[in-house]
Amino acid sequence: MSVQGKEFGRTADGRTVTVYRITNKNGAYVDVLDYGCTLQSICVPNRDGTLTDVCLGYDTVTEYEENDGYLGAFVGRHANRIGKGEFVLNGQAYSLAVNNGPNHLHGGLKGFDKVIWSACVASDRLIFSHTSPDGDEGYPANLMMSVTYCFDDSNTLTLIYDAVSDGDTVVNFTNHCYFNLNGQGTGTATDHLLQVNADAFTENDGDCLPTGKILSVEGTPFDFRTSKPIGRDIGADDENLKNGSGYDHNFVLQGEGLREVAVLSSEKTGIVMTTRTTQPGVQVYTANFLTYRGGKNGTRYSVRDGVCLETQHFPDALHHENFPSVVLKQGEEYHQITQYAFTVKEENEV
């Protein structure tokens, strides 16, 4: 594995953004920006051996600065929604920016996706670090973090998140990569097959905020325990689907520790992406709000042109005691791992 950095562009206020290319011995590679620890490209072989970019992104810093959607970004301090942007921790009330209807989304107005991180290249990994100051976007305590990327010779991309704080705070990190295993910019991803190891999902209200209820997937369009095309039930007459304008839901993952949680695949290219994580949930988001826009290399993106598998703690966990806690106590070590492993299958192979 080798890592090479070069200038990607400049922010509106003149700061340099660097792109790091991590190449493995097969010539497959991942491009990552220090701006938001953003996964800008993931180029892996299809069943013919041709490198295919399976990650949506932009060619310029300006597009990353100006567009919504969090393409490829590292998200924090708290991924997804916190109801009304309010919470109480140790008896003290905190108020965060409300940037998504009545709720707080993905860390606020300037989340970690908009920060230029310090990069350090170790022999087999790329490590970004950043300290978020006490009061950053309204969150308490100084938070010292590192985000590590590895891309090994088996075409497995590993994301490692570490954090420690000098006071009690909340932490829920994710990555917001939009995958299209047919190749980025080739249109809808609803033909992809998806399998998720989840017997249950968290019910949402009309603003995509969990109600606190954990529902069984049995007999619902949310049953991905056996692989099925994402688009098969996406238009079903189902209140939860309508609330998200498609899939935009947290699935309650079976098991604990680093385990396989989902398999996404394309019949067209044969590319299979196996997701493993230490996290308790995954937000399956079918790019329902990805409005028409330009993408990399002159491509165009629109609604449903990618699928995000955002491994995470459950959204709005601060308001639901039945959800795993997102509180990080002073001095405690936060550590989460997610892997996206890329392989290929032959035509019609199950």
Residues 294-323, one symbol each (x = binds ligand BGC by CB under 6 A, - = not), give ----------------x-------------
- Is 256 in a helix, a strand, or coil? coil
Contact pattern for ligand BGC over residues 234 through 253, marking x by CB under 6 A: --------------x-----
Pick between residue 174 and residue 197 the one whose CB is nearest to ligand BGC: 174
Which tokens go with 349?
């192979």
Other C-beta atoms lying within 10 Å of the C-beta of residue 326:
23
Nearer to ligand BGC, 136 or 248 (CB): 248
- Binding residue count for ligand BGC, defined by CB under 6 A: 9
Q: How far is the CB of 56 from ligand BGC (least distance, A)?
A: 12
| Active-site residue, from 176, 192, 249, 313 | 176
Single out the residue of 285, 301, 334, 342 in contact with ligand BGC (rule: CB under 6 A): 285
Judge whether 343 and 272 are in contact, CB under 8 Å.
Answer: yes
Q: How far is the CB of 167 from ligand BGC (least distance, A)?
A: 27
CA dihedral 233, 310, 261, 156 (to 10 degrees): 120
| Integer Cα distance of 232 and 192 in angstroms | 10
Q: Which residue is at the shortest CB distance from ligand BGC?
A: 289
Which is closer to ligand BGC, CB of 183 or CB of 306? 306
* 41, 148, 266, 283: residue in contact with ligand BGC (rule CB under 6 A): 283
What contacts 145, CB < 8 A, 6 or more positions away? 76, 112, 129, 130, 131, 132, 161, 162, 163
Instruction: Decide: is 289 part of the binding site for ligand BGC (CB under 6 A).
Output: yes
Tokens coding 345: 């299958």
Binding span for ligand BGC by CB under 6 A among 113-121, 183-191, 214-222, 283-291: 283-291
Q: What is the nearest approach in angstroms of ligand BGC to the Cβ of residue 160?
A: 21
Residue 169 engages ligand BGC in binding (rule: CB under 6 A): no
- Helix or strand or coil: residue 319? helix
Residue 180's DSSP bridge partners are: none
Radius of gyration of the chain (CA): 19
Query: Taking the CA of residue 37 as centre, how many other CA atoms within 13 Å lie in the half-sphere pointing to its CB?
Result: 27
Would you count residue 208 as binding ligand BGC (CB under 6 A)? yes
Nearest by Cα to 260 from 273, 247, 246:
273
35 forms part of the interface with ligand BGC (CB under 6 A): no
- What count of Cα atoms within 13 Å lies in the side-chain half-sphere of residue 136? 22
Q: How far is the CB of 257 from ligand BGC (least distance, A)?
A: 24
Q: Which is nearer to ligand BGC, 66 or 166 (CB)?
A: 66
- Which of 106, 203, 310, 313 is labelled catalytic? 310
Element spanning 242, H or E: helix 239-244
- 6, two tokens: 């070069």
In the residue annotation, 63 being an active-site residue is answered as: no
Q: What's the CA gap between 246 and 234, in Å, rounded? A: 6
Smallest distance, ligand BGC to C-beta of residue 175, A: 11
Active site includes 310?
yes
CA–chain centroid gap for 130, Å, is 19
Which stretches of 31-87 are DSSP H helices?
61-66
Residues 56-95: x where in contact with ligand BGC by CB under 6 A, - otherwise, as a string = -------------xx---------x---------------
Name the residues that contact ligand BGC, by CB under 6 A.
Answer: 69-70, 80, 208, 248, 283, 285, 289, 310
Catalytic residues: 176, 310
